[in-house]
Amino acid sequence: MWTDVGMTQPGTTYTLKALLSQRGFDTNWTSAVYTSWVTLILTLILAVPNLWVFANSYLIANDIK
C-alpha cells in the first residue's frame, strides 16, 4: 500500500526520516481510503449486533431482565 519508491534504492541512508519520506507517497491513496472506510463499516455492521446479543445474554444469564 505504501510503496512508490523501492526500499533498496542506491544511496539511501536508512534513517527514519529517509524511510518516511520515501514511503509516504502513495499513488493509490484513494483506493486505500475507500478500502479503509468499507472495512470500518463492515466491522461496525458485525460488531454492533454481536455486542447487543452479548449484552442481552448477560442480562438473561444473571436474571436481571
How big is the chain by its Cα radius of gyration, in Å? 22
Q: Which three cell numbers stand for residue 58?
A: 448477560
Which runs of E-coded beta strand occur in 1-65? none
> Residues 8-61: pLDDT tens digits?
556 666 677 766 666 555 666 777 788 889 999 999 999 999 999 998 898 888
Q: Where are the domains of the chain?
A: 16-61
Distances (CA, A) of 5 to 2, 19, 24: 9, 10, 9
**Predicted model pTM:** 0.48
Measure the CA–CA gap between 56 and 41, rounded to whole angstroms: 23
